[in-house]
Amino acid sequence: MKALERRILAEGQNMGQGILKVDSFVNHQVDPALMMECGREFARLFKDLNATKVLTCEISGIAPALATGYALGIPVVYARKTKPITMPDTVFLTTAPSHTKKRDVEIMASPEYLRAGERVLIIDDFLATGQTILALARIAKAAGAEIVGIGALIEKTFEGGRAALSVLGVPIESLARIVDMSEGRIVFG
């Protein structure tokens, strides 16, 4: 998606070690118009999958997931990293390595909002190693839901995430595919 690529080139910062800072429009400050455009594109790409829920992980996945859910007319569930007192005692829980926090984080979802028989579309901000999306897939499967597709705003193809996700056997779409971040570059492919 050219609008997203242009924004990454204009405002994204290659921080080294595979870290791309997109805080000015995705991760800290959110550009709602850009996210709605991304959501419409995901809805176009996944319209025939008959998803019943969008699943993401807090916090950076919420904006693109919400825009996608809105465009598809379906609810959005986000896995949380801390358990609020309003969440039931029994939850779907797993861990995933955090690229930016440099440690594993727990993620969880309530069985109140993710149930057997749901057709789940996973949407996240980044597809890098695929570990966060695989963790979301484990949560969906624990709920008895079927994963029908995966979308990421930005894919770093050189980190192998797409290959790691191939075990899920579902369509994978990314709106901006970065093939090289060496020597401070941001190269799309």
pLDDT per residue as tens, the chain (189 positions) = 999 999 999 999 999 999 999 999 999 999 999 999 999 999 999 999 999 999 999 989 999 999 999 999 999 999 999 899 999 999 999 998 877 677 899 999 999 999 999 999 999 999 999 999 999 999 999 999 999 999 999 999 999 999 999 999 999 999 999 999 999 999 999
Confidence at residue 107, expressed as pLDDT on a 0 to 100 scale: 95
Q: Where are the domains of the chain?
A: 34-179
Confidence at residue 97, expressed as pLDDT on a 0 to 100 scale: 86
Confidence at residue 168, expressed as pLDDT on a 0 to 100 scale: 98
Confidence at residue 75, expressed as pLDDT on a 0 to 100 scale: 98
Confidence at residue 124, expressed as pLDDT on a 0 to 100 scale: 98
Task: Show the tokens assigned to 74.
Answer: 């379906």
- The reported pTM is 0.95
Confidence at residue 93, expressed as pLDDT on a 0 to 100 scale: 93
Domain 34-179 has CATH 1.10.287.1260: no
Tell me phi and psi for residue 20, to 5 degrees.
-115, 120
Confidence at residue 101, expressed as pLDDT on a 0 to 100 scale: 75
